[in-house]
């Protein structure tokens, strides 16, 4: 699996959002990570389908938009996000949804499927459904806010998933920086979301390149 670095738009300056999206496109990152919060599944609100449309308009053609739905009713919105330009839809396994049916619906709409587990959700939940997904995201913070500290206790879950699913894209999200990315890469992750670390960088392209070389050094790719 390819190493992928995904800046999280949650950490962008909302006053210059279009420019921030262009900064992601020019940074050498592999995709943009779009966090969608409903104030119910998580205690915060963030982006909407309109933001996905803005990203689609501003990003170069084909640039992936990885959309992390932190919402109680992902089935009501998943296909709508795909219609606006999202290329991967991620939804949480803490929810009472028909995982296989929703994954099939997302695939039928032409997008990739990501399954997400919170730091306190057992890895078994992801192991049970990983066969119907393209990627599994192990949250390394409790979702809702950027800028939190990386929870290293999550990493054994990454190891378990990697041991069983060699082909699977495995992502970490939350508190990722040059040090914690190395820990996650050692555990078997190949996709790395970073918000505050990358947007705080004066030169995002240099930060992405630095992160990638540290990760690839560990992964031996």
Q: Which stretch binds ligand DX5 (CB under 6 A): 6-14, 19-27, 82-90, 121-129?
A: 6-14
> Residues 20, 12: contact at Cβ < 8 Å?
yes
Given the residues 35, 50, 120, 203, select the one marked as catalytic.
Answer: 35
Contact pattern for ligand DX5 over residues 16 through 55, marking x by CB under 6 A: -----------------x-x--------------------
Rounded CA separation 146/126 (Å):
23
> Residues 35, 8: contact at Cβ < 8 Å?
yes
Residue 112 engages Zn ion in binding (rule: CB under 5 A)? no
Q: How far is the CB of 218 from Zn ion (least distance, A)?
A: 22
216 in active site = no
* DSSP conformation class of 131: G
Helix (H) or strand (E) holding 206: helix 204-219
Rounded CA separation 95/117 (Å):
10
Residues in a beta bridge with 171: 137, 191
Residue 174 engages ligand DX5 in binding (rule: CB under 6 A)? yes
Given the residues 30, 134, 169, 173, select the one marked as catalytic.
Answer: 173
Q: Which stretch binds ligand DX5 (CB under 6 A): 8-16, 53-61, 90-98, 208-216?
A: 8-16
Cα separations in angstroms, 183 against 84, 157, 159, 187, 213: 35, 13, 11, 6, 14
173 in active site = yes
Residues in a beta bridge with 90: 68, 114
Tokens of 172: 């970490």
Indicate the residue among 129 and 145 with the shorter CB distance to ligand DX5.
145
Q: Which stretch binds ligand DX5 (CB under 6 A): 55-63, 80-88, 93-101, 146-154?
A: 146-154
Query: Which member of 35, 134, 135, 169 binds Zn ion (CB under 5 A)?
Result: 35
Residue 196 engages ligand DX5 in binding (rule: CB under 6 A)? yes
Rounded CA separation 115/99 (Å):
9
Taking CB under 5 A as the criterion, which residues in 68-87 touch Zn ion?
68
Query: Which member of 54, 138, 194, 207 binds ligand DX5 (CB under 6 A)?
Result: 194
Closest-CA residue to 193 (of 34, 84, 72): 34
Q: Is 143 helix (H, G, I), strand (E, B) or coil?
A: coil
Binding site for Zn ion (CB under 5 A): 35, 68, 173
Residues with catalytic function: 35, 173
Q: Which residues bind ligand DX5 (CB under 6 A)?
A: 8, 10-11, 33, 35, 68, 141, 143-148, 173-176, 193-197
């Amino acid at each position: 699996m390819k190493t992928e670095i995904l800046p999280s738009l949650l950490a962008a300056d909302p006053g210059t959002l279009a420019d921030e999206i262009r900064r992601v496109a020019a940074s050498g990152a592999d995709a943009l990570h779009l966090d969608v919060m409903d104030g119910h599944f998580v205690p915060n609100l963030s982006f909407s389908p309109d933001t996905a449309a803005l990203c689609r308009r501003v990003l170069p053609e084909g640039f992936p938009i990885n959309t992390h739905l932190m919402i109680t009713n992902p089935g009501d919105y998943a296909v709508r996000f795909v219609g606006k330009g999202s290329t991967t839809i991620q939804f949480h396994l803490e929810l009472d949804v028909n995982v296989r049916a929703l994954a099939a619906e997302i695939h039928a709409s032409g997008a990739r499927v990501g399954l997400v587990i919170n730091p306190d959700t057992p890895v078994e939940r992801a192991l049970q459904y990983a066969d119907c997904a393209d990627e599994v995201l192990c949250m390394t913070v409790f979702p809702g806010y950027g800028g939190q500290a990386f929870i290293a206790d999550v990493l054994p879950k990454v190891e378990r998933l990697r041991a069983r699913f060699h082909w699977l894209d495995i992502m970490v999200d939350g508190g990722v920086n040059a040090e914690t990315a190395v820990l996650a890469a050692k555990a078997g992750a190949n996709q790395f979301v970073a918000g505050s670390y990358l947007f705080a960088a004066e030169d995002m392209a240099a930060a992405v390149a630095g992160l990638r070389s540290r990760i690839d050094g560990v992964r031996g790719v």
